[in-house]
Structure 1
Amino acid sequence: MKISLSRCRRLLVSSSIVSFLSTGAAAQNISGYVTDEHNNPVPFANIFIKELQSGVASDDKGHYYLTIDPGIYNLVVTSVGFHTQTAQVIVRDKPVTRDFKLQSSSVELNEIEIRVRRRDPAYEIIQKVIDNKEKYLKQVSSSRVNVYVRAGETVDDRKKKKEQPEEADDLKKEGPPEDPFEVARKKEEARLQKINLVEMQLVLNYRYPDQYKEERTAFKQYGTRDGLFIPVFSRTDFNFYHNLVDLKGISEIPMISPVSRTAILSYRFRLEQTLKEGNQTVYKIRVTPRKTGDATGRGYLFINDSTWNINRLELTLHKGALKFYDDFTIRQTYQEMDSGLWIPTRQEFVYETTSGAKLFRGNTVLIYSDYKKDHVFPPRFFGNEVAVTTKEAYERDSTYWNDTRPEPLTADQQKVVAYRDSIEAVRKSKAYIDSMAARYNRITVGEVLYHGVGFRNEGKKSNLFLPSLANLIGFEIIGGFRIAPYSRYFRSFENGRMLNIGTSVSFGLKNKDVNGNQGIWVRYNPYRLGDASMRFGREFQSINSFDAYLNQLRISNYILHEHVNLFHRIELLNGLYVSNDLVFSNRRSLHGYDNTSIINEVIKETDPLLFEDYQALITNTRLAYTPAQKFMTEPNRKVVLGSRYPTFIFNHRKGWDRVLTSDIDFDYIDFTIDQRLLLGTLGNSRYTLMAGKFVNKRDLRYVDVKRFRQSDPYLYSDPMYSFQLLDTSLFATDWFVEGHYIHHFNGAMINNIPLVKKLKLRTVAGAGFMWIKQNGFRHEEVFGGVERVFKIGARRRLKLGFYGVLAQSNFLPPRADWKISFDIIDTWKREWSY
């Protein structure tokens, strides 16, 4: 008998009520067969009882059976590919036999009739959606809709502490007992401080196929937004009619849609229930991945009969693919706007992550209203700016939000708003600002000894920091320990501009020498990312600061550098950056210094690089262009989102002869292409290509040649800028070419291996090559390995890797070795280093 547990319960409840109200009439059964016009059985047909809002499905032979109390009932029989049939049945004190003969809805369903006997009808329903999804992708050429976004997060203790009776605590304390109302108030305030909330109102503009632009008109934040999912629609479309659903910032790889062209290869489907919602018949289909992989989800699809479109869905992503969350569920509800036009009117994202004893639960709701189909936009409305936030958006008060919220806040969220609004009002008062400044600026013994001393001005948004006594001790490769005081001053302005000033002095205990640096940095144009800085001082400088770690400990890698630096960068056009760097320096050998330190116990070298002192004026001009760079505009800054195209870089470095007493004369150029590639479920790749040479080397000194990093023993270095089995440091003064490539499969291969996939490993492969003209040197290498991500905090992730490397060059035979790597994810960009 094909009857679900929930339906059984409803039938039993209904039967009990009818039996109680009746004169003791016994329940009877209705049974029969469902066949087609050729008397072939129709398996898995749905027999729906209108009066009870419940029903059963026929078995694989078309037979159905249900138990029901006496009465008059209307039975609705439906099946994929057949016309719906309705019949009235009168149940008295005897069993009722009622057969149904369904008529095919299309002559093209003969093939379906044969296949439906072999598998669940859900597959035919999904196929219908797939056949019609192109229509729903193209049904709207453009639109404009209001969207309300609310994202909230609560932080709870996973293990509740066992509370002691208050009476027992009171007995242990001296003096008057605590006011229980005050204790309860403090506990409630502490709980509310663990709730974060963001509300946003925006107008979402869309033009087929993938152009979006947000106009954010209201924004309010309570607490931190670090763990909240706040969508940028140009990056997180969540349109399941696409074959792949891109989940940037959430998942390492896109998700395969359950209605993709190849969905049957990735999912199993089962028809669980047929629902009657008004005049609409809706099929509830369970979606289960065939294999537990990172690119699939599990849950339910609700499909409309006849129109074959998504009514609503609930899908949960596999945690192996998630970057920051341990669990992420997507819920969508569609509504018919015009005849045949179904659009999402509500989306909800439920997510959580754990960190130690803390559980972070998040919920983001999107509610759509005032939908306008085929909206006409002015020319050039859509472009690389995908979101803009007005200044007024941050000034909306509680009256505005109370009038515009389409859904009320939860009880806790209402408390958070009231609590934090009251705190915000207090914090803006001069008395509070002065009291907090006095508290923060009070100097303590702990700050002086260990933490450092800070002085803050809330009104000016400035901060001055001085080091602790423990931080005054520094260490240099040259000469060992030094006394090195420093200070930093930072200030941000309302218009987005920033100022940073730093100064340091370093006194060598062994050589009695004084070094130091002073610098100032200004962001003067936040909209065009305009930065300028000046720095001057005297320091020990590494000739090749990117070299292998052990080489950084060699005295011969350092010179004494007295310098003045000027730097400027600006974005000329969107994606086009120009930077200029000018350095005038007096370069001196370290001959005569006592270079010995504890490092000499590891690196048996005490001889510095010998050369005659000289002056050098060097300028560096860099042009970088990223076509179609996407960005968001805030009231006081620009937020760059990246591009699908490569970044092209041209660099020119010039050593000037006889300008400001400069003694050098050279010109160096190089060209670079850098790109990240998203390859769907196959993973993601990145490559860099660089070529360069010295076009003028009339007076090229050893310090200024182009250098290549020697590989570290056992440690894996950034494969985009270095090699893993280069056994020595190299340099070039003529043409050179180098290229690097890495591909992260993100589970695309190893997740197909039983048991192994439970280890949560990810495979990676890559290659690199280099050619240097002046000595005909050639080096090639390939590598492959596995990586695993470990959680080290609520939103901090550590990636450990183990790799095998195979390399060869025209001077050495092929050789192999192994490497290990450590990489911590960038929580701001939500990207790994490589």
Structure 2
Amino acid sequence: MRTIIVSLLVLCMSYGAMAQGYAVEGKVTDVHGLPLAFVPVYVKGTTNGTIANEVGVYKLRLQPGTYTVVFRVIGYEQQTEQVVIVDQNVKLNMKLEPESYTLESYLPQDTEVDSTYIIMQKVIAKRKFYLNQVKEYSCQVYLKADQKLLNAPQTFLKEDVAKVLNLDPNRRGIISLFESVSQFNVRKPGKVKEVMLGLKAAGGENPFGFNRATDLQVNLYENLLSWGGMSMRSYVSPIADNALRFYHYRLLQRFTDDDKTIDVIEVKPRHENEHVFHGVIYVIENDWRLYSADLHLYKRAHIDFVDTLNIREQYIPVRDSIWMPLSLNFSFTGKILGFKYVGYFLGVVNNYNIEPDFKPGYFNGEVFEVGKNINKKDSVFWNNYRAVPLLDDEKRYYHLFEAAEKKNNANHARDSVKSNNNKFRLIPYVLKNYKYHDPFKKITISVPSPTKVVFYNTVEGASVDIKPQFFKEYDRNKTLTVEPEARYGSSNKIFTFNTYVNYRYNPLKQGAVYGSFGSDFLDLNNSGTLSLFLNSLSTLFTGNNYLKLYKAEFASAGTQGEICNGILLNGQIEYAQRETVINTTLFAIGKDSTQLTSNDPRNPHPNPLDPNSNVPLFPNHVALSIRGSATITFNQQYTINPDGKFIEPTKYPRLRVNYRKGIPRFGSVVDYDFLSADFFQDQLKCGIYGYASYFISAGKFFNSKNLYYPDYKQFRGGQSFFFDSSLGSFHFLDYYTYSTDKRYFEAHYEHNFAGFFLGKLPYIRSLNIEEIIGGSFLTQELLPGYKEYYVGLKRSIVRLDYGFSYGRNLPVLQGFRFTYNF
């Protein structure tokens, strides 16, 4: 609440101050009168600035007074002009002269290289000082993103669809437009808090997900730069500690800005196809700090979704000895499946305060706060806070989008809108599911695809499993999810029905209550094996019925919620009647039915002549159990918006402690105590070498007086050609053999090099294939240790691995494993 009040006060005070000012506005062109795009314009001696739009038009709001306005852009000589504001706007057009890249007037050719590297050594030596020079600061950030479609194939983009998207007859036009204003606060190391004050968006989602100032940070004083939306690897800064290993440098020019000498230095990679930049950097001599930068990334640098990316950053003095970024411009071009597109992101920073005096506890893990109705700001707000003037086509796009929204929200249009959005489309339904969405009642009904409805296994035969989902959203973003499930097997003639209910009552604390009741066939491996669909394919076409089942009638209830930031508690109680089941059919296509195994994983091939061979895996029984877990996320960071609390990806590991107990009461016969701990981290960044993931788990049954196979500790095995690539899964482990009621230890490690090696190979580098290596280990008290190693290739949603497994007294297994993820 305190944050909200402070933000509102800051907003109201600055709103009023800006509303009383006047504008210095005009157009920036070259000497031929052609407009110059994205030229930074700022007031000397202040942190107030802006940037010109695509056609060179700028607008800078100032209070009455006398100012020196500076026009500075890479490739052109800096120009200044004094303006006096009394009681009206001031028109100021500016022509910029191109810089002349020559050294002949002052630098002998044979000293050029040595001189450049001496300069760069001094710049690199000062990198760490400037990285940590300002310990904390606050500022205001205006962000704008514009994405345009230049061309699209008629096959994919029909004329009626193009019309709905407001594209011209040639299928060109804006497809996404986004603006925001935020208060941005930083305390080093690693503390960030952004409060969004205004938001205006139209069209599709922002490319790369750059929806906030935090996502668009470019600090060349860092050794490595990374943007998750473009590549999983990091890019080496031209002034990194080890930059001389990656770059060639050449001094192009020197010029003077006031009393400072600026060196213009060309940056070129020593080796193409690495995660490095091309371009120029501007360096202030003697200070050895950055003045500006104009850098480029190309497709061969392993960027995703775009072919070229240009990054321009301009610094200005906040104080004599402190310079901070004024503007940042990401411009990109791309082509995929015949679609050609261009776009840009602009960031303009104003009102730096390098002595903000943050209150104790201000940085509490919340990195991004979005309040209600920030997308409802009126034209007065945007006239005062919009740092970059809109183009005519951008104004038109906003107008068309807002008109369409009003039409959609009108009562008379509700039925037609729902009918259009909820049309049944066969291919999307087969691949995923069908969704009916009513945005006015905030209801969504999802019907599963045929691949999840129809299945086959040896226990139930050809079967159907219908599991629709009902989702309802209430005020304050509380939600209700109901999932009824009806299942029937044609071979065993058994009908089961159950319902799962989840009510999220406190989105900010991840608070929810949930429960389920009914009957179902459940996997004997409680960690999961194959989906019903993949098991059907495996059983019918390869004769491998990996999935083993038991029947349960149950009722359960649970709750979860955070007791403080980073500690999530979860607790559940369950009462279940469990029954063993057997195969009722051994049908397989083109396979000998004798290859199919029994439903008992411990006795896959029973001897019909041996009466002891047909003993059930466990007797029918009642089980009452409780379970709880505490998940600790170290230094957890999160976003708060009207939809709730969302946990940010973390560079720190997580710890989860689990406890489960069987209670011999109320007819229950189970009696055990199980405790385990999981230590894991997903996508740990490793700079230019990609990222790593690991999962370590250990546990023990401290009491095992009476428990049955469904109570054992199970592991995520991998006997099928299709495997689960999630963290903590095995590639070749038998799904059930290592299940245990004793102590255990398992460890998994995987490293994705994100193209570090293959990116150096001709012809192959253009495929953007990622290399993967990994391994797993498992030991438990009764069986020998199990090990496996693998290598893999990944491209987008498809991944293929090859590996092998072994252990003492265990046969060596090897083969391929495949996974995909839509």
- TM-score, normalised via structure 1 length: 0.75
Contact 2:143 2:213 in 1 (8 A): no
Which residue pairs with 2:72 in the alignment?
none
Q: CA deviation at 1:748?
A: 4.0
Distance (whole Å) between structure 1 residues aligned to residue 259 and residue 688 of structure 2: 39
Which residue pairs with 1:632 in the alignment?
639
Q: Secondary structure at the match of 2:287?
A: coil
Does 1:223 find its partner at 2:198? no
Distance (whole Å) between structure 1 residues aligned to residue 814 and residue 450 of structure 2: 45
Distance (whole Å) between structure 1 residues aligned to residue 382 and residue 507 of structure 2: 29
Which residue pairs with 1:157 in the alignment?
151
Contact 2:551 2:580 in 1 (8 A): yes
Whichever of the two has the greater Rg, that structure is 1
Which residue pairs with 2:782 in the alignment?
774
The alpha-carbon distance between structure 1 residues 451 and 811, as it changes in their structure 2 partners (threshold 3 A), is closer
| Aligned positions of 1:398-409 closer than 5 A | 398-409=379-390
Task: Tell me the number of residue pairs that the alignment of Structure 1 and Structure 2 aligns.
Answer: 699
Which residue pairs with 2:245 in the alignment?
265
Give the stretch that moved more between structures: 209-218 or 465-474: 465-474
Give the stretch that moved more between structures: 437-446 or 281-290: 437-446
The alpha-carbon distance between structure 1 residues 693 and 139, as it changes in their structure 2 partners (threshold 3 A), is closer
Contact 2:679 2:696 in 1 (8 A): yes
Q: CA deviation at 1:582?
A: 2.3
Contact 1:600 1:606 in 2 (8 A): no
One-letter identity of the residue aligned with 1:356: L
Distance (whole Å) between structure 2 residues aligned to residue 486 and residue 761 of structure 1: 37
Contact 1:478 1:540 in 2 (8 A): no
| Aligned positions of 1:192-203 closer than 5 A | 195-203=175-183
The alpha-carbon distance between structure 1 residues 501 and 816, as it changes in their structure 2 partners (threshold 3 A), is closer
Q: Secondary structure at the match of 1:433?
A: helix
Which residue pairs with 1:119 in the alignment?
113
The alpha-carbon distance between structure 1 residues 655 and 222, as it changes in their structure 2 partners (threshold 3 A), is same
Q: CA deviation at 1:719?
A: 7.5
Q: CA deviation at 1:505?
A: 2.5
Which residue pairs with 1:239 in the alignment?
219
Which residue pairs with 1:540 in the alignment?
521
The alpha-carbon distance between structure 1 residues 312 and 666, as it changes in their structure 2 partners (threshold 3 A), is same
Q: Secondary structure at the match of 1:663?
A: coil
Which residue pairs with 2:584 in the alignment?
594
- TM-score, normalised via structure 2 length: 0.76
Distance (whole Å) between structure 1 residues aligned to residue 425 and residue 473 of structure 2: 26
Distance (whole Å) between structure 2 residues aligned to residue 235 and residue 446 of structure 1: 35
The alpha-carbon distance between structure 1 residues 525 and 304, as it changes in their structure 2 partners (threshold 3 A), is same
Q: CA deviation at 1:516?
A: 1.9
Unmatched runs of 5 consecutive residues or more in structure 1: 1-8, 11-47, 59-63, 65-76, 80-112, 164-168, 170-177, 790-796, 826-834
Q: Secondary structure at the match of 1:122?
A: helix
Which residue pairs with 2:749 in the alignment?
741
One-letter identity of the residue aligned with 1:123: Y
Which residue pairs with 2:3 in the alignment?
none
Q: Secondary structure at the match of 2:387?
A: coil
Contact 1:460 1:493 in 2 (8 A): no
| Aligned positions of 1:70-85 closer than 5 A | 78=106
Which residue pairs with 1:68 in the alignment?
none
Contact 2:151 2:171 in 1 (8 A): no
Distance (whole Å) between structure 1 residues aligned to residue 721 and residue 247 of structure 2: 42
Query: Which one has more relative contact order, counting CA pairs under 8 Å at least 6 apart?
Result: 2
Q: Secondary structure at the match of 1:516?
A: strand
Q: CA deviation at 1:328?
A: 2.9
Does 1:764 find its partner at 2:744? no
| Aligned positions of 1:413-428 closer than 5 A | 413-428=394-409
Cα-to-partner distance string for 1:525-574 (whole Å, 9 max, x where unaligned): 11111222222222221202634776986388111222223232212211
Contact 2:518 2:554 in 1 (8 A): yes
Does 1:817 find its partner at 2:814? yes
One-letter identity of the residue aligned with 2:332: Y
Which residue pairs with 1:679 in the alignment?
686
| Aligned positions of 1:612-627 closer than 5 A | 612-627=619-634
Q: CA deviation at 1:698?
A: 1.0
Q: Secondary structure at the match of 1:391?
A: coil
Contact 1:120 1:270 in 2 (8 A): no
Give the stretch that moved more between structures: 470-479 or 182-191: 182-191
Give the stretch that moved more between structures: 549-558 or 300-309: 549-558
Q: Secondary structure at the match of 2:241?
A: coil
Distance (whole Å) between structure 2 residues aligned to residue 643 and residue 488 of structure 1: 31
Which residue pairs with 1:583 in the alignment?
574
The alpha-carbon distance between structure 1 residues 352 and 571, as it changes in their structure 2 partners (threshold 3 A), is farther
The alpha-carbon distance between structure 1 residues 642 and 572, as it changes in their structure 2 partners (threshold 3 A), is farther
Which residue pairs with 1:666 in the alignment?
672
The alpha-carbon distance between structure 1 residues 594 and 445, as it changes in their structure 2 partners (threshold 3 A), is same
The alpha-carbon distance between structure 1 residues 394 and 275, as it changes in their structure 2 partners (threshold 3 A), is same
Which residue pairs with 2:322 in the alignment?
341
One-letter identity of the residue aligned with 1:154: K
Distance (whole Å) between structure 1 residues aligned to residue 126 and residue 450 of structure 2: 72
One-letter identity of the residue aligned with 1:584: Y
Give the stretch that moved more between structures: 418-427 or 665-674: 418-427
Which residue pairs with 2:50 in the alignment?
none
Q: Secondary structure at the match of 1:738?
A: strand
Q: Secondary structure at the match of 1:431?
A: helix
The alpha-carbon distance between structure 1 residues 526 and 602, as it changes in their structure 2 partners (threshold 3 A), is farther
Aligned-residue Cα RMSD (Å) equals 4.0
Contact 1:192 1:412 in 2 (8 A): no
Which residue pairs with 2:124 in the alignment?
130
Q: Secondary structure at the match of 2:207?
A: coil
Contact 1:274 1:283 in 2 (8 A): yes
Contact 2:302 2:759 in 1 (8 A): no
Q: CA deviation at 1:513?
A: 2.8
The alpha-carbon distance between structure 1 residues 647 and 52, as it changes in their structure 2 partners (threshold 3 A), is closer
| Aligned positions of 1:246-645 closer than 5 A | 246-276=226-256, 280-319=260-299, 320-437=301-418, 456-464=437-445, 475-482=456-463, 484-485=465-466, 487-544=468-525, 546-547=528-529, 554=545, 557-591=548-582, 594-598=584-588, 601=591, 604-605=595-596, 607-609=598-600, 610=616, 611-645=618-652
Cα-to-partner distance string for 1:585-621 (whole Å, 9 max, x where unaligned): 2112225x73344479476337444343211122221
Q: CA deviation at 1:495?
A: 1.4
Distance (whole Å) between structure 2 residues aligned to residue 421 and residue 556 of structure 1: 52
Report percent identity of matched pairs.
22
The alpha-carbon distance between structure 1 residues 788 and 373, as it changes in their structure 2 partners (threshold 3 A), is same
Cα-to-partner distance string for 1:770-815 (whole Å, 9 max, x where unaligned): 221234x2223333x35242xxxxxxx224344344x4422247x4
Give the stretch that moved more between structures: 337-346 or 483-492: 483-492
Q: CA deviation at 1:398?
A: 3.0
Cα-to-partner distance string for 1:715-736 (whole Å, 9 max, x where unaligned): 5653742333446732222111
The alpha-carbon distance between structure 1 residues 194 and 565, as it changes in their structure 2 partners (threshold 3 A), is farther
Contact 1:716 1:819 in 2 (8 A): no
Unmatched runs of 5 consecutive residues or more in structure 2: 1-29, 32-76, 80-95, 601-615
Distance (whole Å) between structure 1 residues aligned to residue 565 and residue 584 of structure 2: 51
Q: CA deviation at 1:321?
A: 3.4
Distance (whole Å) between structure 1 residues aligned to residue 731 and residue 405 of structure 2: 53
Q: Secondary structure at the match of 1:817?
A: strand
The alpha-carbon distance between structure 1 residues 187 and 255, as it changes in their structure 2 partners (threshold 3 A), is closer
Which residue pairs with 2:708 in the alignment?
701
The alpha-carbon distance between structure 1 residues 440 and 602, as it changes in their structure 2 partners (threshold 3 A), is farther
Which residue pairs with 2:68 in the alignment?
none
One-letter identity of the residue aligned with 2:742: D
Q: Secondary structure at the match of 1:730?
A: coil
The alpha-carbon distance between structure 1 residues 276 and 799, as it changes in their structure 2 partners (threshold 3 A), is farther
Q: CA deviation at 1:356?
A: 1.2
The alpha-carbon distance between structure 1 residues 373 and 450, as it changes in their structure 2 partners (threshold 3 A), is closer
